Chains A and B, each alone.
Chain A
Amino acid sequence: MTASVAGKDPVLVLGAMSDIGRAIAQAYAAEGHPLHLAARHPERLETEAEDIRIRHNVAVATHAFDVLDLEGHGPFLDGLDPAPSVVVCVVGLLGDQQRSVEDPAAAELVMRTNYIGPSLILEAAAKRLERRGQGVLIGVSSVAGDRGRGSNYVYGSAKAGFTAYLSGLRARLCKSGLRVITVKPGFVDTRMTEGMDLPKRLTAQPEEVAKAVIAAHRQGRDVIYVRPIWRMIMTAIRVLPEPVFKRVKI
């Protein structure tokens, strides 16, 4: 990569083809950060990369990356030049709850894609950043991980695992100068939620998520909900006693 703005940290976006990933990449580029975009299909990423170069005049590189290929995580990170000092993981898979309940393989894929893969790639990135003594790791988790609900607990439990992992990682790294940010977007108007009938007041646009991520990064926040109303909703959901909660259809 060439022509990166002096002083701006290179940012790696994992899952850069997703609507939220795209928006986060655009937002960092708008602030002048050079980018590494990673996704399973790098040939399609090139269009995204060129779009960002034209709009923001920053250096953008594209990479093939599969979060499920655990063996490949290390070599992938070591191959990035310049090494990123901000790593954002947007990888996720909603899956279909009914299918996940019936088919263990489907459930396993949801668990690996939302929990194991994202946790371990950020762990691997943390090890590399620790050597340099600075960096920011950002994990896009979900409000679904705040409590297991009958309607989507396979996805929710995987996100819960990821949220817990991020929390632990943050605690372990807090003295090392590295920061970890957990992002819980709530409903977002993306491909993943297309066709669902979502309440407008609770549904963020991908650009809002990106703005919230950048703000959290600048302000040194640890855990953010994109729309503040979600913090209240999830607090209420968390404090319901289990005998009541189990009967609530949500």
Chain B
Amino acid sequence: MMLSGWGNFPRLDCRVAAMRGVEDIRAVLDEAPLIARGNGRSYGDAALQPHLTLLSRHLDRFLAFDPANGRLTCEAGVRLETILEVFVPRGWFPPVTPGTKFVTVGGMIASDVHGKNHHVAGSFGRHVESMRVMVADGRILECSRQEHADLFAATIGGMGLTGIILSASFRLLPIQSAWIRQETIRATTLEETLEAFEESADWTYTVSWIDCLQGGKCQGRSLLTRGEHAMPDELPAEVASQPLQPRRKRLKRVPMDFPSWALNSWSVRAFNALYYGAAPKTAAPRIVDYDSFFYPLDAILEWNRIYGRHGFTQYQCVLPKQAGREGLRRLLNTIQKTGSGSFLAVLKLFGKQDDLMSFPMEGYTLALDFPLRGPTLGLLLELDAIVADHGGRLYLAKDARSTPHMFRKGYPGVERFQEIRAHYGARGKMQSLQAERLDL
């Protein structure tokens, strides 16, 4: 079966098998190297193994829910979308959510995803209380911060390379409404943008969209969005009677691959100018539904097709806070110089790192999409050098092309990670294309 990540690059023929239960997985375990795949929303080659890719679509049962404390136990293939559908109307929300709801619980753990609340809530793994992991010899290990703590810590952010995540327990967050009180701040320079983050540290959710085609004194101009779960008395009258009923929207679908010339520095510049210009000048609070706040792109199915059939790559790095300001300037200079900006350039201030292989560390993260063309790869290498210089690292869930050297430099936990993998027999067995590329 032809498979790729969300970036449509690389794309290759993989032998697949569906996981419906433990027996199905044990039956193919001998045929390693293999990797488990969730909903295929990591961008690069993390959920690909031509030899054998295990699909978790049918491993999608809720196993237990305790309404007293919000603890949910479910199988790894359960999608975040389903969790929202079932639990938002009952007053519960995921403790951490990435920018798409079309991800699985297994994928969220393996990538240790973060959201707009990273500075207060950490990444998803922080909220996981326990997991059941099948290791390479077929044993199923119950692991947590107390039990098989090494396996637990390495599996969070471990990109599926320690074993197959079967199920997990985590606590949902109580909410009073399905709505978010949102404010938008216009920042005209990078300084203002970073200040706005400091000033918004008490907000649960913060993120900024940054216009990376601007140079000179407008460099780093951005729209910072901050939000809180709205209380019922803040809601407009027409929805206040059913505060937990989310708004149902029609989904649109990108009907075809766009030709590769459709995205160029002019169309992106025009988009950015309109987007920036359309934002209100003052921070007036608005009430928006959770889908619009957290998952604006999910409303456009298959939006990755606007990058054409050659695919695209998302570049997401994090720079430690002290060196961050200087590093961000250098990154923005380089991007602006080449003129290959993207619609989606996102900047956020992270809190502290949670686990051994977690991507987030205290500092600034910048995420950009680039269509895959020859010059892009050269630009990315330049960006890599800046990130490495400032002690930063790249997000494996988005990566399709970085080098083993860059990876090892950015993730000092890798030696310990490899020891733990060896201890549980995972090396050479639980192995994605990405792991092979990164020499893991």
Contacts and interface: CB of A to CB of B under 8 A. Distances in A.
**A and B bound?**
yes
Interface of A: 19, 44, 47-48, 50-51, 54-55, 191, 194
A55 B62 contact: yes
A19 B60 CA distance: 12
Contacts of B65: 54
B18 A47 contact: no
Nearest to A191: B20
Interface residues of B, number: 11
18 contacts: A19-B58, A44-B21, A47-B61, A47-B63, A48-B61, A50-B61, A50-B63, A51-B61, A51-B62, A54-B62, A54-B64, A54-B65, A54-B86, A55-B82, A55-B86, A191-B18, A191-B20, A194-B18
A169 to B, nearest CB: 32
Nearest to A57: B90
Given A19-B58, A55-B86, A50 B64 contact: yes
Nearest to B23: A44
Contacts of A194: 18
Contacts of A54: 62, 64-65, 86
Nearest to B61: A51
A50 B75 CA distance: 12
Interface in B15-45: 18, 20-21
B2 to A, nearest CB: 12
Contacts of B86: 54-55
A50 B72 CA distance: 12
A44 B61 CA distance: 12
A54 B86 CA distance: 8
A194 B62 CA distance: 24
Interface in B45-61: 58, 61
Contacts of A55: 62, 82, 86
B205 to A, nearest CB: 27
A194 B17 CA distance: 8
Contacts of A44: 21
A46 to B, nearest CB: 11
A86 to B, nearest CB: 23
Given A47-B63, A50-B64, A51-B62, 11 more contacts: A44-B21, A47-B61, A50-B61, A50-B62, A50-B63, A51-B61, A54-B65, A54-B86, A55-B82, A191-B20, A194-B18
Contacts of B58: 19
Interface string B61-91: 1111100000000000000001000100000
A183 to B, nearest CB: 21
Contacts of A19: 58
A51 B21 CA distance: 14
Which 5 pairs from chain A and chain B are nearest by CB? A51-B61, A54-B62, A51-B62, A54-B65, A55-B86
Contacts of A50: 61-64
Interface string B251-279: 00000000000000000000000000000
A34 B63 CA distance: 19
Contacts of A191: 18, 20
A7 B307 CA distance: 51
Contacts of B18: 191, 194
Contacts of B62: 50-51, 54-55
A70 to B, nearest CB: 29
A55 B72 CA distance: 12
A50 B66 CA distance: 12
B20 A51 contact: no
Q: Which of B21, B61, B63, B65 has the most CB of A within 10 A?
A: B61
Nearest to A19: B58
B238 to A, nearest CB: 26
A47 B78 CA distance: 14
A50 B63 CA distance: 6
A19 B57 CA distance: 11
Contacts of B63: 47, 50-51
Nearest to A51: B61
A55 B90 CA distance: 11
B292 to A, nearest CB: 25
A194 B21 CA distance: 15
B168 to A, nearest CB: 15
Contacts of B82: 55
Nearest to B67: A54
Interface string B118-149: 00000000000000000000000000000000
A228 B321 CA distance: 58
A102 B197 CA distance: 73
A50 B61 CA distance: 8
Contacts of B20: 191
Contacts of B21: 44
A191 B58 CA distance: 10
A50 B20 CA distance: 16
Residue of A44, A48, A50 with highest tally of chain B CB at under 10 A? A50
B88 to A, nearest CB: 13
A55 B86 CA distance: 6
Nearest to B82: A55
A215 B21 CA distance: 30
Interface centre among A19, A50, A54, A194 (most CB of B within 10 A): A54
Nearest to A48: B61
A2 B18 CA distance: 35
A44 to B, nearest CB: 7
A202 to B, nearest CB: 17
A44 B64 CA distance: 15
Most B CB atoms within 10 A — which of A44, A48, A55?
A55
Contacts of A48: 61
Nearest to B24: A191
A19 B21 CA distance: 12
A48 B61 CA distance: 7
A48 B63 CA distance: 9
B75 to A, nearest CB: 9
